[in-house]
Amino acid sequence: MDTGHNDLLGELANDAALERTDFIVEATEQLAKFLERHADRITKLGGLTLIDEDPDFLSIAPDLTFRVRSRYEDPDTGEWVSETEIVETASELIELYNPAEIYGAFAEAARLATGSGPEPTATDELLGAAGISPDETFKAGDTAGYAGAADEWAAAQPRDLDADDEESAAGALYELALDFQERSQQAEASLIEQFEGASAKLASRIGDLMIVDDEDERLTLTASGRFKAEVLPEEDATEWRELSSADDLVEFYDPTDVFGDLADTLAAAYPSITGDDAEEDADDADEAEDDAHAADAPDAPAADEPKP
């Protein structure tokens, strides 16, 4: 295989691995700060059950450790077994869950704890829930209006939130979790876009690369360096939804998985880029050399054969 081609693939794989590492570090720091800010509230609430959808379960204890339920097939019995394990650090949790999913779970758990109704989804419902009239909204493209509103919102946020009772603490935690969920999605989309910009020239030399091809999802790194995906959403598994932008992509994919799967795909398609082939060739050469030396060596006398 062309050495230059392998070099390009190696650079692409290395860049994907670095982006994955950077994402995990940044997401871990953000989650750790979120937990630190709300340590007292979570303790007062006695912990929270964040996800409880069999077999998936996630909760946070008053000491800020997490309980995660995993399900796997026992290789000896062939039966499915569920186990609950303790996750003690934010970095471990980031390896298991998308940060946006974590913040979304906090928001949902806090909403349920306050006895609130269903989360608003349509535009009018969201505006009404937020106490905003249509006249107070901005037209598309009105960046000055959005910037001004963002500045006003940021200025109004207290540095250290507090609450007088359990219900108000849950409500404040709910609002903050939604805010951080949005921030996390924006950060993830930005990371995807940065990678796409950095990989454009490399990808153009390789062509389209299929990363995932399953019954309900397809993920490709195109020759332009952009990710393109198609998924069958759970709410409508009859019609494929195309994900053509970074914002669309992070609704369904964790960048950690995207970059990791890309690196694995490249390594599987071009084993030489990981250096494993070179090590195997070196081992084979050593074995061949040892065999040659053994063949050239004189035969040792038998145990009962007298030495001259």
pLDDT tens, residue by residue, 71-115:
777 778 877 777 778 888 888 888 888 888 888 888 888 887 776
Residue 120 CB neighbour total at 10 angstroms: 14
Q: CA–CA separation, 152 vs 260, rounded Å?
A: 39
Q: Which amino acid is at 187?
A: A
Give 217's pLDDT tier (boundaries 50, 70, 90): very high
pLDDT at residue 69, rounded to an integer: 80
120 pLDDT more than 60? no
Q: CA–CA separation, 126 vs 136, rounded Å?
A: 13
Give 296's pLDDT tier (boundaries 50, 70, 90): low
Percent of the chain with pLDDT over 70: 72
Residue 119 CB neighbour total at 10 angstroms: 15
How does DSSP assign 135-200, residue by residue?
GGS--TT-HHHHHHHHHHHHHHS-SS---SSHHHHHHHHHHHHHHHHHHHHHHHHHHHHHHHHHHH
Q: Tell me which H or E stretch contains 59.
A: strand 56-60
Q: CA–CA separation, 284 vs 278, rounded Å?
A: 10
Q: Is 275 left (phi over 0), alpha (psi -120 to 50) or beta?
A: left
Give 299's pLDDT tier (boundaries 50, 70, 90): low
| Higher pLDDT, residue 290 or 213 | 213
- Cβ proximity of 209 and 266 under 8 Å: yes
Q: Across the chain, what does the average pLDDT equal? A: 75
pTM: 0.45
57 pLDDT more than 80? yes
Q: What is the mean pLDDT of residues 117-124?
A: 48
pLDDT tens, residue by residue, 222-277:
888 889 999 988 877 788 899 988 888 888 888 888 888 988 888 888 888 877 65
300 pLDDT more than 80? no
- Cβ proximity of 255 and 25 under 8 Å: no
